[in-house]
Structure 1
Amino acid sequence: MIEWTREERYQRLESLPEDEYLKLIEQTKQSSHRQLFHIQPPTGLLNDPNGFAYFNGQYHLFYQWFPLGPVHGLKYWYHTVSDDLATFKNAGIALRPDTQFDSHGAYSGSGLVVDDTLKLIYTGNHRTDAWERIPYQMIATMHKDGTITKDETPIISGPQTGYTDHFRDPKVWFENGYYYAVIGAQRTDETGTVVVYQSIDLKHWTFISELKTDYTDFGYMWECPDYFELNNTDVLLFCPQGIDKYEDQFWNIYQSGYVLGQLDKETFEMTHGEFTELDHGFDFYAPQTTLDKDGNRVLIGWMGLPDTGYPTDKEGWAHCLTIPRELTIENNKLRQRPVKSLRTLRGNVETAEGYATKKNVKLHPYEGTHYELIVDVLDNDSTEFYIELRVSKKESTMITYNKAEKRITLDRFDSGQLPEGVDGYSRSVVLDEDLKQLQIFVDTSSIEIFINDGEKVMTTRIFTSQDAKGIRTSTESGQVYFKFTKYDLKEANE
């Protein structure tokens, strides 16, 4: 990972000569790992999605952005817009760290439509001369003409008593005449939680309590909380840091997951089930949701993780966002499916079907680097079968399915250059039912796998050579009858 000084991390984009910034843009464009249909930064580092909302006839999605390099430094909010959640266009910088209260970064937050405006509620990061952090909860307003103005004073100054300066990432909603905010927090005993505030006017806020769950000692910090109701069920998303791995769970450096249940809005006690990871791959964090124009709940996550070095770092940029996923609750579990509008990106289609066996290692006739692949498992008499993507003479990203265990394993040991600081080369998840279908989105440097119509999801970045284009199937023993449908995908984002 690249080492930057504090001064370098907190240099303002505005202080950089224009020709130097143009060089950064050109350097980023030359990267062989740039994506075709995922949101990615024009330069520097992208992380948390922010302010996700449908407003004034368009979807507005912002993300954390440090423009000068692939490290976490002075954060801006970068703005993208979409008519359909399939194609996004860059709209430039939305929030700059230009006040006393966000002098050291405009950190994460959410969006809420109020009276023909889009309110952006976020954490301002300020550092004193002694480098002590003071978090402020801030509001900015986007008007219909696209202009953005910031309120002059914070709505919440500093952390609540009993909590440390790790106090950030407000998610705000309106219900029964009140505005509510959940904020990720760390108690003074260095355990993570979520706190709740209430307001009648978005300006004056009152601390209510913690949002009480069964997880009283579950990591040292909870980031990026998100609360919503779905199918008469209350859903709390959060990202606990400091969880020890257990069997197939919690192998990434930090986790993203949810609990389902019922939240008492008087006591803010939640009766709920177990914490479940949202994604079982390598690269997923800090998700945020919104309602689409038809009232469906849609999620987008950061396809990356903190404290991890990626091969594109040396090219001056890092990370992207996932494709949008529609959420439903079925059999008391959250299910994620790619939004239907992504089908508009489909181009040429190829189909093939037949048996794969141990003796017949099949290299499928079609290949590519940007496609949607639907794999239907029509008959499976194997003990274990393998689907390899982005195959070259030396490279392969392998999906393994063990029938007896109902276990899917994603292995990127041979997936070209590997990120630094990652524990292990594979991730596994056990399914509730036999594997019937995979829906896979392959981009230049990522793979997103939706298993059994969204029962589970596995997301990974890969950094292969440009000639890694093949698709291959085989089995350990027995045979599998596959049907493959492959759609070439069009460019979707700037």
Structure 2
Amino acid sequence: MNPLATHLSSLIKEFEEDNICKVNKDPLRLNYHIMAPVGWINDPNGLCEFKGKYHVFYQYSPSEPQGGLKYWAHCTTADFINWTQEEIALYPDSIYDCHGVYSGSALIDEDRMYLYYTGNVKHDGDYDYINSGREQNTLVISSEDGYNFSSKQIILRNSDYPENMSNHVRDPKVWREGDSYYMVLGARDKNSEGEVLLYNSKNKINWQYLNSIKTKEKLGYMWECPDIIKFEDKTIIMLSPQGLEAEGILYNNVYQTGYMFIEGDIKSEYSLSEFVEIDRGFDFYAPQSFKDSKGRRIMIGWMGLPDIPYKNPTTENGWQHALTMPRELKVINGKVHQVPLVEFEKLRSSVYQFDVNNDEAIQCNTRSFEAIIEFSEKIEHLKISLRKDVHLSYSEGTFTMSLGESGFGRDSRSVNIDSLQSVRIFSDESCLEVFLNNGEEVFTTRVYDDKEDTILTVNQCNAKATGKVYSLNKFSIK
């Protein structure tokens, strides 16, 4: 650790010690989601499995709950239930990343962990910081144990990106195919159109530009956090485009996240399917995935968004945002499904089973619960009420999540879905994750009710259905 990093580490530890009690007393703190110790958290980074542990890095601004100078915080687990908060892994301590260590990914190769990330630099002066005044450097560090890292090495600068690129090129995702390595970077060109840049390398250090991945018609002005995901017989590109205009119930958040199927070879000739939002809720962005030793494709997203038009009340207590539950990705009938990891069943404690009757009120006894409702016949309409003023409804082929005052500006989001077989709700102190039809559609949102309302009511349902409600225990974090 260089002297600047040592100094920053000391300041952060002192700040955390001074503020951790206030943060932890907030009743809106979550029980089974990753949060920053204090301050701000955003993109998950460097997700991987390495030497018997899962590693989750994330963007961290400890002293600024509204977001500020970015570090990479680090936590580990062997089972997704018992976690260790590790030392900060990356500091903005070099001339290549002095204004923030931005997002990136992990490559496990030859018994080492390699972390690729974007170093942000903003020059003083009269710049627009789009086409001038900003450096977006791609850097790499490596480790033999996942905790102690080598010195930083810059591998790509602005001058290494195509000439038609703006200064916004970032978020490297790296993988290996055979004896070659590939990297995608999210980008904004000088015409303010989003795309992804593809590079390759033979040695993980020297990289050559191969191709641009983009849609025929403009899809926003910037593509962030790209991820190329290969399933058995399908490949998708997942990304977070900025600048999409709302189209009815589509694209209603300030920025979106979704995927497109890739046909052909992205290195030469390819085509992209239509863009599909991967989460229909209010608070989901910048996901990243990795493949574990069990063959699962696991994804974690940021339970938040940049530039949101509403205030989260947690900022008053010195913190903001969280990461989503880890989800296994599967392609079923030509659509990406998200399924909560089976490990989360270990959090279950008491269970209450019931037959669904209209206006039945189920006392959950806690705001941390999992509810599963399954329908044994075709359902035409449904309404579920929970928390202070959250309503989940299904009618005429449309499922809607509606929030009242507890949404703090979040109102309603919807998706069209042909049939509804099941609803699975994960409720934590200040968030909800709702999975329809075993993850065919998902709604993720923060919700801030001001009282202990633990009643779940199924007050409109035309079909036979059964339900279970599990109380959920907390993560263990040390």
- Quickly name the TM-score band, shorter chain normalised: over 0.9
Q: Quick check: 1:396–1:468 contact (8 Å CA) kept in 2?
A: no
* AA at the equivalent of 2:51: N
Distance verdict in 2 for CA 1:417–1:410, change over 3 Å: closer
Distance verdict in 2 for CA 1:452–1:206, change over 3 Å: same
* AA at the equivalent of 2:392: I
Distance verdict in 2 for CA 1:93–1:449, change over 3 Å: same
- The alignment-based identity, stated in percent, is 35
Among 417, 426, 441, the alignment partner of 2:412 is 426
Aligned-pair distance for 1:219? 0.6
Q: Quick check: 1:13–1:68 contact (8 Å CA) kept in 2?
A: no
* AA at the equivalent of 1:286: A
- CA distance in 2 between counterparts of 1:333 and 1:406 reads 18
Deviates more, 1:117-126 or 1:158-167: 158-167
**Which residue of structure 2 aligns with residue 77 of structure 1?**
72
User: Is 1:397 matched with 2:390?
Assistant: yes
Distance verdict in 2 for CA 1:470–1:252, change over 3 Å: same
Q: Quick check: 1:387–1:400 contact (8 Å CA) kept in 2?
A: yes
- CA distance in 2 between counterparts of 1:243 and 1:66 reads 28
- CA distance in 1 between counterparts of 2:432 and 2:12 reads 37
Distance verdict in 2 for CA 1:190–1:473, change over 3 Å: same
Q: What stretches of structure 1 of length at least 5 have no aligned partner?
A: 1-11
SS at 1:92 equivalent = coil
Deviates more, 1:78-87 or 1:117-126: 78-87
**Which residue of structure 2 aligns with residue 9 of structure 1?**
none
Q: Quick check: 1:51–1:62 contact (8 Å CA) kept in 2?
A: yes
User: Is 1:298 matched with 2:298?
Assistant: yes
**Which residue of structure 1 aligns with residue 232 of structure 2?**
231
User: Is 1:490 matched with 2:473?
Assistant: yes
- CA distance in 1 between counterparts of 2:384 and 2:234 reads 36
CA RMSD of aligned residues (A): 1.8
> Residues 112-123 of structure 1 correspond to what in structure 2 (within 5 A)?
112-123=107-118
Q: Quick check: 2:372–2:469 contact (8 Å CA) kept in 1?
A: yes
Distance verdict in 2 for CA 1:217–1:179, change over 3 Å: same
Deviates more, 1:288-297 or 1:12-21: 12-21
Distance verdict in 2 for CA 1:170–1:20, change over 3 Å: closer
> Residues 206-285 of structure 1 correspond to what in structure 2 (within 5 A)?
206-214=208-216, 216-267=217-268, 269-285=269-285
**Which residue of structure 1 aligns with residue 344 of structure 2?**
342
SS at 2:404 equivalent = strand
Distance verdict in 2 for CA 1:95–1:19, change over 3 Å: closer
SS at 2:281 equivalent = coil
Aligned-pair distance for 1:254? 0.2
- CA distance in 2 between counterparts of 1:459 and 1:145 reads 31
SS at 1:28 equivalent = helix
**Which residue of structure 1 aligns with residue 435 of structure 2?**
450
**Which residue of structure 1 aligns with residue 141 of structure 2?**
140
User: Is 1:384 matched with 2:381?
Assistant: yes
**Which residue of structure 2 aligns with residue 3 of structure 1?**
none
- CA distance in 1 between counterparts of 2:197 and 2:267 reads 14
Deviates more, 1:126-135 or 1:443-452: 126-135
Q: Deviations over 1:304-337 (max 9, x none)?
A: 0111231111111100011111111111111111
Q: Quick check: 1:77–1:94 contact (8 Å CA) kept in 2?
A: yes
Aligned-pair distance for 1:14? 4.5
* AA at the equivalent of 1:302: W
Query: What is the number of residues matched between the two proteins?
Result: 461
**Which residue of structure 2 aligns with residue 5 of structure 1?**
none
**Which residue of structure 1 aligns with residue 3 of structure 2?**
none
SS at 1:271 equivalent = strand
SS at 1:25 equivalent = helix
Distance verdict in 2 for CA 1:21–1:323, change over 3 Å: closer
